[in-house]
Structure 1
Amino acid sequence: MNYVVKNPCRNSSMTGHCWVSEILNGHLIRCYQMFRMKKLVFLELCDILETKYNLKKTRNVSIYEQVGLFLYMLSQPGSVRNCEERFQHSGETISRHFHNVLEAVCMFAKDIIKPVDPSFRDTLDEILKDARYHPYFRDCIGAIDGTHIRVCVPSHLQGVYIGRKGYTTTNVMAVCDFSMCFTFVWAGWEGSAHDTKIFMEALRKPALHFP
C-alpha cells in the first residue's frame, strides 16, 4: 500500500505564541518596531476586540497572537509565507485568523472613525482661541485629502489602478479634525480615480455619513 509520510513542517520551538510573548515582555521598542504600536496600545486593542467585537481565541491561537500576526502582516514588508514561518502556522490558519481580526477591526473602525459632534454646532477651541484662525475659519471642521497606497491587483484590473504614480495604487480619501483624529475614511477607489470624483461621490451618498 502506497502512502505519504507527512513530516511536521512548522516545528520550530519558537512558536508564534512564544515570539509574541517575547516581544511584549522585551524592550518597548521591539513591540513598536514589529507591530507599529506601543505595548499598552497593543494590549488595549486586544482587549477591545475581544470584549466588544467578538474576537475569540482558539485552542492553538491566543488573542495576542491573532492580533500580532495581523499587525505583523500589515507593518512588515513580507509575504504570507514569511508570516507562516514567523508564527509557525499553515497558510490556511494565517489567512483565517487574519480575516477574523480584520472583520473585528472594521467593526471597531465604524465606531471610532466619526466626528465627536456630528452636528458641528460649536466652533472648535483651536479656532476660537486663536486670532490667526478666528473668525476666518470659524466654520472649518477639519482637513480632507487623498492618498495613494500601493496595492497588488489581478492583471486584468491593473489598468484602472495605475494612475499618476505609474504603478497600481488605491486612492483613499480621509478627513481628520483638529485633534488629528480621523472622522471619515473611504478606501477602495482605483488609483486612476481623481480626488474630486471621490469627494463628489461621498457627497451624493448619505449612507456614508460624510461629515
Structure 2
Amino acid sequence: MDQRMIASREHIEQMERDDTDAEIMMCMMLLMKARDSLYTREPIRDSKLTGPERVSEVLNGHVDRCYEQYKMERHVFLNLEALMRQRGWLEDSRYLRVDEQLAMFISIVGHNDRYRDIAEHFQHSLNTIGEHFKKVLRAFILLGQENIKPPNFSRCPKQILEKPKLYPFFKDCIGVIDGTHVSASVPLSKQIPYRGRK
C-alpha cells in the first residue's frame, strides 16, 4: 500500500476516535447539567423556632423545664450566663448568644446528645455547634481553675491521725472523693499474695 494511504487511514481513524471522545465528553456534560437542574437545594434547618426562641421558651416556661433541659434551675443558669459574660470567657457571636451557647453545651454534656441532634434542635450547622462547643468547654475549664482548689496534701487529715486503725497506713493517701472508708479484709487462704502491700 501507498504510504499516503496508510497515513490518511490512520488520520481518519484518529479523527473518529477524537470525535467519539468529544461526543462522550459532551454527553457527560449534558448529564451533569441535567442532574444539577433536577437537584433543588433547600435548607435542612427549617424549623419555625430558632435556637434563641427555644432557649427563651425554656427559660420563660414552667420552672421545672429549665431543670429538665439544662440540669439547673433558671436563676442558676442565668447567673452562669452572667458570670461567663462578666469574666469575658464567652460573648455573643455573630450567630449565637451566650445563653444559646451554654444551652447547647449543657445539652451535649448533660443529656449525651449528639451534635446532629443539637443542630436540629437549635437550627445551626454541625460546624457551628462544634466550634461553639469548644469555646464553652474552654470557658468551663477556666471556671474550674478558678473555683476548684485542691486540698493541702502536705498535712495528714485529722480523721486519719486520730484513728490507730488508719494511721500510719493511710498517712500518705490523698483521700477519696466522698470521704468514706470501706473496711476490707482478705480471707486467710488468700493473704499470702497481699502480704506487705497496702
TM-score computed with the length of structure 1 as normaliser: 0.55
Q: Which residue of 2 aligns with 1:13?
A: 48
Question: Which structure's residues are more often strand, by fraction?
Answer: 1
How far apart are the structure 2 equivalents of 1:26 and 1:62? 19
Runs of 5+ consecutive residues of structure 1 not aligned to the other structure: 128-132, 145-174, 178-211
1:83 correspondence with 2:83: no
Which ranges of 4 or more aligned residues in structure 1 deviate by more than 3 Å? 1-5, 117-121, 133-137
Q: Which residue of 2 aligns with 1:55?
A: 90
The residue type paired with residue 39 of structure 1 is R
Q: Residue 60 of structure 1: CA displacement?
A: 2.0
Q: Which residue of 2 aligns with 1:202?
A: none
How far apart are the structure 2 equivalents of 1:78 and 1:101? 16
Percent identity over paired residues? 31
Q: Which residue of 1 aligns with 2:71?
A: 36
Q: Which residue of 2 aligns with 1:106?
A: 141
Runs of 5+ consecutive residues of structure 2 not aligned to the other structure: 1-29, 180-198
> Rg bigger for which structure?
2
How far apart are the structure 1 equivalents of 2:67 and 2:44? 29
1:70 to 66, 89, 105: 105
How far apart are the structure 2 equivalents of 1:118 and 1:53? 30
How far apart are the structure 2 equivalents of 1:74 and 1:16? 18
Q: Residue 120 of structure 1: CA displacement?
A: 8.2
Question: Which structure's residues are more often helix, by fraction?
Answer: 2
How far apart are the structure 1 equivalents of 2:60 and 2:175? 38
The residue type paired with residue 38 of structure 1 is E
Q: Which residue of 2 aligns with 1:186?
A: none
Q: Residue 77 of structure 1: CA displacement?
A: 3.8
How far apart are the structure 1 equivalents of 2:47 and 2:136? 25
- Alignment root-mean-square deviation, CA: 3.2
Q: Residue 111 of structure 1: CA displacement?
A: 1.1
